[in-house]
Structure 1
Amino acid sequence: MSNWIPTVSFDAIDDEDVTRFDHAGRTFAIYRVEDRAYASDGLCTHERVHLCDGLVMDHVIECPKHNGRFDIRDGRPLGAPVCVALKTYPTKVEDGVVHIEI
């Protein structure tokens, strides 16, 4: 059974940017790259820092604390000190709102 959750307006996210979304006691990161939405857990797997304060370039989010990097498409770690993948979620945009499937 799928559970699609509306998050934020797609137009509220600049290209190559990230925004924080909190739902049911959890934090998510919602990204916009090349006119497409992506979503992941909102905390770095290294020291649980909010990724919404990080830098997005192409399909990579860089953690603001220790500069660890993840591919936002699949969550795989791309650079030390992160070595644990970031959980990612399917997205869709309906009526201008990004929805994530959790």
Structure 2
Amino acid sequence: MHPYDNAEISAKFIIDRIKIIPTVAIILGSGISSYYEKIDEKIEIPYEQIPGFPRATAIGHKSKLVFGKLKGKYVIMMCGRFHYYEGYTLA
């Protein structure tokens, strides 16, 4: 399957579960992994539930998307990111 097809499948799954349109995206790593706890009206989706979505394997990464409100803005946070050394491409 082409990576674009995976992205479409993942996006549809996510859109079907959230009712907000985030205006800010934040990618959290190990050092600030608990920052998602500050979000109000949280919707959490573990990576393993999202079809076609990669898995974060680094220790300390929560491996989930979190949607909600932070300081009056709708946000999406990636709680865990993907690394080249985990076998993912740089693209």
With structure 1 as the length reference, what TM-score do the two structures score?
0.27
Question: Which of structures 1 and 2 has the larger relative contact order (alpha carbons within 8 angstroms, sep 6+)?
Answer: 2
Give the structure with the larger helix fraction: 2
With structure 2 as the length reference, what TM-score do the two structures score?
0.29
Give the structure with the larger strand fraction: 1
Structure number with greater Rg is 2
